[in-house]
Amino acid sequence: MNFIKPTIRPRRLRKNKEIRDLVQQNNIHKNDIVYPMFIVEGKNIKQAIKSMPDINRLSIDLTIKEIEKLFKKGIKGFALFPYNDISLKDEKGTQSTNSNNLINRAIREIKKQIPECVIFADVALDPYTTHGHDGVCDEKGNVLNDETVEILTKQSIELAKSGADFVCPSDMMDARIINIRNALDNSGFENTGIMSYAVKYASGFYGPFRDAVGSNNLLKGDKKTYQMNPANKKEALIEAKLDVQEGADIIMIKPGMPYLDVISQTKQEINNPVAVYQVSGEYSMLKNMIDSGDLSDDVIMESIICFKRAGADIIFTYFAPQIIDIID
Ligand code: PBG
């Protein structure tokens, strides 16, 4: 048999690490990473979250210490979520607009200590409602759009007042971006940004997060009347483009790994920065397998670089502390 020698040898560019590094097409930089954190009332409190190995709810003082440490290492962005005691929750999520609630106090204190860190503050009612929905409901349990948007606008103004750099509506109500932008501008917060969770799928991968913010046992029904159907791709463009028109500065897609096609499509179609959230379930899945030894921790960077390859500019990930040490 006559052997046919390769005329083109792509393996040349994989010959050694130095060459591979030189031709690498995507890179993770510390500037790209945002660390989501859970905050709890009290002092010197560190509570493990059962479904999220190595992730803790921290009191404000410990949150500040953690942010200081990571900020020094180069992580600039932090996304904050409050864990509220059930006694603070009601049907209407009243505490969401209280300027002295846990999240507003946390933002003020963090900004006092580390003014340069970039704070992304979630806008939605689920940490505050007894039914676990992101909005208010009628007597039949339907999540009401316009009534919810009114509350979200007030919640956003309080977060902006406390010093949030970006308010981040994660509720998926219609027309919340234009109303929040308008309210911020009319209240003197024209420099507070909006990162919209514009393309948020009704995903099973949020399970551990709901454990972390204490809404998992409360949720009545599901979020499918506002979050998107995982089967739909074009609809993502309707949501993303609407939110850009309405005034969003950054467009978020979430979850991450199951929706790489959506990231890629969105990046091609809009000019604003695109963020992706590697959500709690994605994190815990990988982390459990790494901890059991069944996967090597190479999967951390592999699961992050795929977001860059798909076109994401900013990556929210619970692996942020590990990533910063790996790329250092
Ligand atoms: C709720 C919110 C959720 C997440 C961020 N904001 C969960 C949900 O919609 O139920 C999920 C993040 C994660 O799973 O890590 N407003």
Among the listed residues 254, 267, 287, 308, the single catalytic one is 254
CB of 287 closer than 6 A to ligand 1?
no
CB of 206 closer than 6 A to ligand 1?
yes
Confidence of residue 142 (pLDDT cuts 50, 70, 90): very high
Do the beta carbons of residue 152 and residue 146 sit within 8 Å? no
> Which secondary-structure segment (H or E) carries 35?
strand 33-39
Predicted confidence (pLDDT) at residue 217 exceeds the cutoff of 90: no
Predicted confidence (pLDDT) at residue 1 exceeds the cutoff of 90: no
Confidence of residue 214 (pLDDT cuts 50, 70, 90): confident
pLDDT of residue 328: 79
CB of 165 closer than 6 A to ligand 1?
no
Q: Which residue, 132, 136, 59, is CA-closest to 97?
A: 136
Predicted confidence (pLDDT) at residue 167 exceeds the cutoff of 80: yes
Predicted confidence (pLDDT) at residue 324 exceeds the cutoff of 80: yes
* CATH class (in words) of the domain with range 28-326: alpha beta
The overall average pLDDT reported for the chain is: 97
Looking up tokens 């580390």 gives: 114
Our answer to whether residue 17 is catalytic in this structure is no
Q: Which one-letter DSSP state was computed for residue 55?
A: -
Enumerate the domain spans of the chain. 28-326
CB of 280 closer than 6 A to ligand 1?
yes
Q: Model confidence over 118-127: pLDDT tens digits?
A: 999 999 999 9
Take atom 10 of ligand 1 and give the residue whose Cα is closest. 206
Q: Model confidence over 249-286: pLDDT tens digits?
A: 999 999 999 999 999 999 999 999 999 999 999 999 99
Our answer to whether residue 200 is catalytic in this structure is yes
Q: Model confidence over 42-61: pLDDT tens digits?
A: 999 999 999 999 999 999 99
Do the beta carbons of residue 307 and residue 261 sit within 8 Å? no
Q: Model confidence over 307-316: pLDDT tens digits?
A: 999 999 999 9
Confidence of residue 216 (pLDDT cuts 50, 70, 90): confident
